[in-house]
Structure 1
Amino acid sequence: MVAILKKEINSFFSSPIGYLVIAVFLIINGLFLWVFNDNFNILNGGFADLTSYFFLAPWFLIFLIPAITMRSFSDEYNQGTIEILKTKPISDWGIILGKYFASLVLIIAAILPTTVYIYSIYELSNPVGNIDFGSILGSYIGLLFLASAFSAIGIYTSTLTKNQIVSFIISIFISFFLYYGFEGLANYNIFGNADYIIQQIGMNEHFKSISRGVIDSRDLIYFISITLFFLVLTNFRLKNE
């Protein structure tokens, strides 16, 4: 697994892909939060918090993470190197986890620089330092669990096709539906008493729960289950190729 992890990370950073993903994520967030004169601008909000960032970040990750993971197995299938990879002394799970953790490392590298926003709102608050650290910490933890689930989805969809673009689109669709689709369906009030249950199936509800600063084991189990589910599907696909 470690060998695959190193290989994937080196692949990310030996080409413009890794730097481009990090740059795009940081630039887009920076523009919306500090430059554009819109409802997400922290300076226009009147409150020293990162609510806008934690609202926008998951939507950006829905697109950025599939861009990272789309080549994980699609590229191996397209170039015919998957057979060579599977003949090496490493298990299918070792291959999967190596690629999975490599994509997760890249996402964490993109998220880490945004912690400078904490210092910014710390200094902007009145009095200085009057911010909700518990909520911010919870939101970052929630963002990491979201990223882990999106990465697992992206790794799985990359096993479905040799075409990276198709993998990218499928990954976006599944990630979007799991993040907001169930909540969107519940908002139509067409399931009666089951609307609450439908809403609880979606990622957004669990992300918002963690973002309140209270780490509930049910939310953590939910994200871990989603992640493991798609990694198991990936392993199933790999064994049947």
Structure 2
Amino acid sequence: MYAVFKRELFSLLNSLMAYITIGIFLLAAGLLLWFFPDTSILDYGYAELTGFFSLAPFLFMFLIPAICMRSFAEERREGTYILLATRPLTSWQIIGAKYFACLVLVVFSLVPTLIYGYTISKLAMPAGNVDTGAIIGSYIGLLLLGAAFTAIGIFASSITKNQVIAFAVAVFLCFIMYNGFDAMAKMALLTGLQDLFMFLSVNEHYQSISRGVLDTRDAVYFLTLVFFFLLLTHFTIGGRKW
């Protein structure tokens, strides 16, 4: 499994698309956080990163599908998956290797944003007067959100040979999981359905963690979501004779 993980990670790191995607993510985050008047921290007047953590999930909806779209789709298109499948590896090991390779790249894309927390700490009056717990909780929430979106991206890549279609399907699924259930909860006529849709909403659990309070129910929700989409991926690749 490690060999496949290393092969997949090096393949991503050698891909110009990965660097372009991460560069666009960081550029968009920087512009929205510091320059655009409606979302700028400097215009907001408070030393906090709420704006960044509110915008990051929507940037993730495009960043992560772009990273994951080639994982299985390219293997199917080029016919190289058969070479991988002939190795003494289970489908779970192949899925896990590709999943963690993509997740590592997502983590790499978040590392440069840590400078935002340092900058905010220095801009605060007095210096260092920031809600560190909320910032740490929000980053943990982003990591869990990235893990869930990565699993969705891997699943979308497993159902098609076309990377563009895989990207579009992943963006759609991420949007539905993040915002769709919230909209359904507002439209639901029965209270029981409202509670169900709110529980299924990724946004609800992400906002809960972003408050700085780590609830095991939120962590279990994200881990369950990751396992669910990886299980769907397992059924998808296991049900085909490539």
Task: Give the letter aligned to residue 21 of structure 2.
Answer: V
Indicate if the aligned counterparts of 1:21 and 1:110 stay in contact, CA closer than 8 A: no
Shift of 1:189: 4.9
Q: Is the contact between residue 22 and residue 63 of structure 2 (CA under 8 Å) also seen in structure 1?
A: no
2:208 is the counterpart of 1:209? yes
Q: Per-residue displacement from partner, 1:66-118 (whole Å, max 9, x unpaired)?
A: 11111111111111111111001222111101110010011100001101001
Equivalent runs, 1:12-51 vs 2, <5 Å: 12-38=12-38, 40-51=39-50
Give the letter aligned to residue 166 of structure 2: S
Name the SS of the counterpart of 1:113 in structure 2. Answer: helix
Q: Counterparts of 1:175-190 in structure 2 under 5 Å?
A: 175-190=174-189
The corresponding residue for 1:122 is 121
Distance 1:128 1:200 in 2: 38
Shift of 1:193: 4.7
What corresponds to 1:240 in structure 2?
239
Q: What is the distance in 2 between the residues matched to 1:196 and 1:33?
A: 33
State the partner residue of 2:62.
63
| Offset at residue 15 of structure 1 (A) | 2.2
User: 1: distance between equivalents of 2:83 and 2:200?
Assistant: 39
Percent identity between the aligned chains? 46
Q: Which runs of 5+ in 1 are unaligned?
A: none
Structure 1 counterpart of 2:2: 2
Aligned residue identity for 1:181:
G
Distance in 2 of aligned mates of 1:10 and 1:17? 13
**TM-score (ref. length: structure 2):** 0.96
String of CA shifts for 1:122-162, please: whole Å, max 9, x gaps.
Answer: 01111111110110000000000000000001101111111
The CA deviation at 1:194 is 3.0
Distance 1:102 1:159 in 2: 15
What SS is found at the alignment partner of 2:158? coil
Q: CA deviation at 1:62?
A: 0.7
Deviations 1:6-25 (A, max 9, x none): 11111112121221122111
Task: Give the number of equivalent residue pairs.
Answer: 240
